[in-house]
Amino acid sequence: MRLRYGLNPQQATADATPVTPGTHPVRVIHGQPSFINMLDALAGWQLVHEAATLLGRPAAASFKHTSPAGAALSGPVDEVTATLFGGTGSVDSMSAVTSAYLRARDADPKSSYGDFAAVSHPVDAGLARLLTGIVCDGIVAPGYAPGTTAQLSQKKGGRFLVIEADPSFTPPPRETREVFGIRLTQDRDQVRLSRDHLKPAGTGQPLPQAAVDDLLLGLTVLRHTQSNSVCYVRDGMTVGIGAGQQSRIDCTRLAGAKTDTWWLRRHPVLRDLPFAPGIRRQEKIGWQVRLAEGSLAPRERDRLAQALTAPAADHAGELSPAQRAQWMRRLTGVAFTSDGYLPFRDNIDEAHRHGVTCIAEPGGSIRSDEVASACREYGIRLAQTGLRLFQH
């Protein structure tokens, strides 16, 4: 398959060739993908297929630059997400696959702008209709309901990518990559994640079933995220992913800040911002995110006032420190996963700040006892998987 271009447009010649002739994990139904599009489609499909198989519910992911900005299982769509994306507040009024993608995209909607979508189940009319109204570059799915391919093919002036995955495809047992004249080969990671990997450690307390599901989703996400990486999950959806950092504590802080932003966007002040007519969805999301992050610059306040119909005289929509602290104390029930062992207890101290009540990490650090002790201090339930999930 001839790709549109490589990682950059100046890399004009790029191709995608199946390792085993005649076997294709995916096929392009419409459009011409770039090198990065193919990487996102292949990684996204593996993530959602694995998650849905493991947890028995439709799964979706929103990929950007070979890592997920968000991932989720099907489930209820809350008022914040429903209002921004024109849906409804109950999963009963939309398909499961649509709810999964909405939940995945709302985990970090700023990063998901211009994403590549992946879903574990066929695209239906509702999901196709949603995709036509948002900024998204393409989708990979195991099938498409009648009429949806034609509808999606018109998006982006006909450049929207529609890719179909083969759920029965079995990848080769060995993986090869060529870098700067060197061919690297390794066994494919074929370990299947399961509940058996979540053995209580430290506190020795068993994990509730909902926490087990969230931890398994988090581990699945990390398997397909650029390392170092950590993931915060709540109620079957990621709320913060920290990817590709050299320091694990930086991953934990980055993903924790995203988790705080996700939660603060649900504060009534930010949820009910009175936007003026004509303000586009992504601009609304941008203001929500900036207000959740705090510390608006003076010129930003001026622009925000112009975007609202009834702004207060000063600090329109801004939360006071007391309001922020009070709201953050309500965040709980968050699961935290790490693709490598936690080397210091500072990761536990940081995770606790973002509502974490259970953690899964490989264990095996020379300071694992300190990590377990920190979990006991905070009442966090700890599972050590014995399994590293690096992805590069």
Q: Give me the pLDDT at residue 380, please.
A: 95
Catalytic residue among 65, 156, 199, 284: 65
Domain assignment of residue 199, given as a range: 175-263+329-384
State the CATH number of the domain containing residue 199: 3.40.140.20
Give the CA distances from residue 53 to residues 63, 175, 191, in Å, rounded to whole numbers and listed in that order. Answer: 19, 23, 14
Based on the domain organization, do 244 and 293 belong to the same domain? no
Q: Is 392 a catalytic residue?
A: yes
Based on the domain organization, do 185 and 333 belong to the same domain? yes
Q: What is the mean pLDDT of each run of 10 residues along the chain (392 residues)?
A: 94 93 93 96 98 98 96 95 69 84 96 97 96 96 97 94 96 94 95 92 78 97 97 98 96 98 96 91 94 90 88 67 96 97 96 97 94 95 95 94
Q: Give me the pLDDT at residue 309, please.
A: 87
Number of domains in the chain: 3
Based on the domain organization, do 190 and 240 belong to the same domain? yes
Instruction: Identify the domain boundary among 129, 149, 170.
Output: 170
Catalytic residue among 30, 37, 49, 64: 64
- Please, what's the b/e burial string for 142-162 (b: 16 or more CB within 10 A of its CB; e: otherwise)? bebbeebbebbbebeeeebbb
Going by the DSSP 8-state scheme, the letter that residue 2 receives in this structure is B
Q: Give me the pLDDT at residue 318, please.
A: 87
State pTM to two decimals.
Answer: 0.95
Q: Per the domain annotation, does 153 fall within a domain?
A: yes
Q: Per the domain annotation, does 105 fall within a domain?
A: yes
Q: Give me the pLDDT at residue 266, please.
A: 96
Based on the domain organization, do 150 and 137 belong to the same domain? yes
Tell the residue number behind the tokens 């929509």, with chain if given: 317
Based on the domain organization, do 219 and 195 belong to the same domain? yes
Based on the domain organization, do 149 and 205 belong to the same domain? no
Instruction: Identify the domain boundary among 118, 135, 170.
Output: 170
Residues 363/198, Cβ–Cβ less than 8 Å: no
Going by the DSSP 8-state scheme, the letter that residue 354 receives in this structure is T
Q: Per the domain annotation, does 343 fall within a domain?
A: yes
Based on the domain organization, do 253 and 297 belong to the same domain? no
Candidates 158, 154, 188; CA nearest to 174 is 188
Q: Per the domain annotation, does 324 fall within a domain?
A: no
Instruction: Identify the domain boundary among 151, 170, 189.
Output: 170
Q: Give me the pLDDT at residue 3, please.
A: 94
Residue 22: Cβ within 10 Å count: 5
Based on the domain organization, do 59 and 195 belong to the same domain? no
Residues 334/352, Cβ–Cβ less than 8 Å: no
Based on the domain organization, do 120 and 217 belong to the same domain? no
Q: Give me the pLDDT at residue 161, please.
A: 97
Catalytic residue among 49, 121, 224, 228: 228
Based on the domain organization, do 281 and 140 belong to the same domain? no
CA angle 282, 45, 153 (to 5 degrees): 60
Q: Per the domain annotation, does 5 fall within a domain?
A: no
**Residue 43's Cα: distance from chain center in Å?**
12
Q: Per the domain annotation, does 347 fall within a domain?
A: yes
Based on the domain organization, do 85 and 143 belong to the same domain? yes
Based on the domain organization, do 227 and 373 belong to the same domain? yes
Q: Per the domain annotation, does 19 fall within a domain?
A: no
Residues 21/51, Cβ–Cβ less than 8 Å: no
How large is the C-alpha radius of gyration of the chain? 21
- What do you get for the CA distance between the two ends of the chain, in Å? 24
Q: Give me the pLDDT at residue 93, please.
A: 73
Q: Per the domain annotation, does 285 fall within a domain?
A: yes
